Amino acid sequence: MKPKLRTPGVSPAARTRAWFATALVTALLGGVGWKAWGVQVADGARLREQAVRQHVHTVEIPAPRGPILDARGRPLAVSADAESVFANPRAVVDLAGTAERLAAALDLDVISLEARLATGKHFAWVARHVSPEQAAAVRALKLPGVEVTREPRRWYPGSTSGGPVIGFSGIDGNGLDGLELALDDLLTGQRARFSALRDARGKTMMADGLVEATPGATVQLTIDRAIQHIADEALAGAVTLNKAKSGTVVVLDVATGGVLAMASHPTYDPNDPAAAVKAQARNRPVTDVFEIGSVMKVFTVAAALDLGLTRADEWWNVEGGRWKVGRKPVIDTHHDQVLTTSGVIKRSSNVGAVKIGLRVGRERLDEALRRYGFGSPTGIELPGEQSGLIRPGKSWREVELVTICYGYGLTVTPIQLAAAMAAVGNGGLYHAPRTVAKVTGPDGKVLFELDDPGKQVMKPETARALLPMLGSVFEKGKEGGTAASVLVPGFKAGGKTGTAHKYDPAIRRYSPDKYLSSFAGLAPIDAPRIAVVVVIDEPSGKDYFGGKVAGPVFGKVTSETLRYLGVPGDPTAFERSPGVPTADDPEPESVPFDSGATPPRSGRPDPGRRAHAATPPPPTLPEMPLEDEVEVVDVPDFAGMSVGRALDTARQRGLDVVVRGSGRCVEQVPAAGRTAAGTVITLRFSDE
């Protein structure tokens, strides 16, 4: 038998090792192939998804919010870059040391910051919208895994002026209050999104298809920044002076219904949103309702005039200021025996207003009030608007009809009242109040422009007849109106005072010492340009009458607004004809609760039959007399005084002054002499 061939020089042990190595390599190659098959085929989709998630991410560039501008194009809210600090916790080398140094630079709590950096994520905010000094300090630390970036932040140049109206946006750019919330969809814009690669530390390396963010639309308001400042300043002064709970001012353009100013106190700075919560501030002209009080007499008379049920010169027997329906009395502070329809407004007669309202009737009065805009929202572009409350007229009891005639038993908002008063000044044409004048897209295309044709809610002749009635409220003397002490320097105005007891749910009756003082008016009264409503809630100083508390705010806001708008003044408006108010001038108007009725008597009795009996003792609530007792003070001549001396002189005499400029006093309004107490004196200095 032929022997088996063997490899020369190779021992059997070497051959065994070779075969073993070949088998091992083959097995290893087989395992690699199996693993490759698993990675590429069996688990390919899952692993590809993980790779994309780890190395490819979507980068978002926030869109700048669109600016909010005032009526003249001045910024009220703008977006600007602010610096923020973020970290990649996985890239942080010394966790405790990094947290300690960052906390010191940014004034943060080190424990909570360390917990945030220990998450193991690729991204975590450290602090957003930091100051430039803080950002520079973080950069100087050169901490691994910590970066400083820029992002848009909202800025409000006006600070507290108009804060509750403008509102504010959150740190991520979403509207949270006011117009910022109501117009959020328009202001937000379109964020830019694109894909990018990042390295093992999470830093972006390459990005393709960079897309620019689309900014939000530009919103131009009807609000004028200067008029808003006038209203804010006057309101804050009145709330402080009268130690009131809160206050509201609304200024409307009579011709368009555009809101020129909307002030609330307390207010807040939108640059510090936390202040809004702390101050319990809100946009009170749309969110707060109140019983309108004696201002309602204007609309009771308007309803009767519109229906042809009375005339401005029709005489009414007002019963010497006390009248009954059944056991329910209606009380006037004044003890007039007879008044014309116009005199009912001038003297604020509850008896006269009730007799006129009874002639109108519950259902027709209800229909008129709703036509004037009460009982339903105005639709203004602001969040939280209330509708007020008026029960259906057909369900009114007689006592409700009586009280509604002079403003109790229904609630309204200040913006509703301002819009209704503006309709009187606009020939009966009602424009729903609006704050947005124009919206322009980022491409310059006009998306919206205010163009409200309005609707006729009262006859033009009715509106014309009401204007001299409202003007007569400012007349002075023994037979003067309830606003005799209110001055509107340089202009003739018309309006109506109101003082109402607040209903106290705790005692289920009207409070004996909580009031709402209000004033609603038009100016100039011969050709109205603006309607102004002032409401002061719970004044707790020495005065609470509408003419004393809200009247000076009306006078200041109206006069300064008309001057700013360039409306020609009336020099005779500075005169105090027929004379300086005395103790015999009109007393407070009455705000009783309910009464009864007898058929109204007309005809022209002898107007000289007015009784001047002593003022009766205050009746039980809520039949309480209110309104404007006139008090006068002596105003010195401030000419040539320095600012310091002028302020000292004013303080010594208990006078309220507004300083314009510095240097020496060159002008004062009103001039030296006797004037009504509470009048705000404007002093202009040489370096204004």
Structure tokens at 480: 């003067």
Q: Answer yes or no: do 133 and 243 share one domain.
A: no
Q: Which pairing describes strands 246-253 and 124-130: parallel, antiparallel, or unpaired? A: unpaired
**What stretch of H or E contains 198?**
strand 192-198
Last residue of a domain, one of 221, 238, 270: 221
Residue 297 inside a domain? The answer is yes
Q: Is the pLDDT of residue 570 over 70?
A: yes
Q: Is the pLDDT of residue 53 over 70?
A: no
* Residues pairing with 148 in the sheet: 85
Q: Answer yes or no: do 645 and 620 share one domain.
A: no
Q: Answer yes or no: do 673 and 528 share one domain.
A: no
- Higher-confidence residue: 222 or 23? 222
- CATH number, domain containing residue 183: 3.90.1310.10
Residue 462 inside a domain? The answer is yes
193-229 tens-digit pLDDT: 555 555 555 555 545 555 567 889 999 999 999 999 9
Can you give the pLDDT at residue 389? 93
Q: Answer yes or no: do 376 and 433 share one domain.
A: yes
Residue 237 inside a domain? The answer is yes
Q: Answer yes or no: do 253 and 107 share one domain.
A: no
Among the listed ranges 60-64, 89-93, 151-155, 356-360, which one has the minimum average pLDDT value?
Answer: 60-64
Residue 35 inside a domain? The answer is no
Using DSSP's 3-state secondary structure scheme, residue 339 falls into: strand
Determine contact, residues 497/298, Cβ cutoff 8 Å: no
Using DSSP's 3-state secondary structure scheme, residue 247 falls into: strand
Most confident of 5-14, 106-115, 284-293, 650-659: 284-293
Q: Answer yes or no: do 203 and 287 share one domain.
A: no
Residue 299 inside a domain? The answer is yes
Last residue of a domain, one of 576, 603, 625: 625
- Burial track 574-603 (b if 16+ CB lie within 10 A, e otherwise): eebeeeebeeebbbbbbbbbbbbbeebebe
Q: Answer yes or no: do 207 and 104 share one domain.
A: yes
Locate all alpha helices (DSSP H) within 242-340, ordered by sequence.
Answer: 274-279, 284-287, 296-306
Residue 38 inside a domain? The answer is no
**What number is the average pLDDT over the span 488-505?**
91
**What stretch of H or E contains 207?**
strand 204-207
Q: Answer yes or no: do 135 and 259 share one domain.
A: no
Residue 518 inside a domain? The answer is yes
Residue 46 inside a domain? The answer is no
d(CA 248, CA 235): 7
d(CA 647, CA 230): 20
Can you give the pLDDT at residue 608? 33
Q: Is the pLDDT of residue 157 over 70?
A: yes
Can you give the pLDDT at residue 130? 84
What whole-number percentage of the chain has pLDDT above 90?
A: 46
Q: Answer yes or no: do 413 and 514 share one domain.
A: yes
219: Cα within 13 Å, side-chain hemisphere:
27
d(CA 286, CA 279): 18
Using DSSP's 3-state secondary structure scheme, residue 319 falls into: helix
Q: Answer yes or no: do 673 and 591 share one domain.
A: no
Helix, strand, coil share of the chain (percent; to 5) = 35, 25, 40
Q: Is the pLDDT of residue 15 over 60?
A: yes
Last residue of a domain, one of 201, 221, 241: 221
Which positions are catalytic?
294
Among the listed ranges 9-13, 327-331, 586-590, which one has the minimum average pLDDT value?
Answer: 586-590
Q: Which domain holds residue 123?
A: 59-221
Q: Into how many domains does the chain fold?
A: 3
Q: Answer yes or no: do 190 and 283 share one domain.
A: no
- CATH number, domain containing residue 305: 3.40.710.10
Q: Answer yes or no: do 205 and 349 share one domain.
A: no
432-485 tens-digit pLDDT: 999 999 999 999 999 999 998 999 999 999 999 999 999 999 998 878 899 998
CA distances from 373 to 264, 281, 284, 366, 608 (A): 22, 26, 18, 11, 39
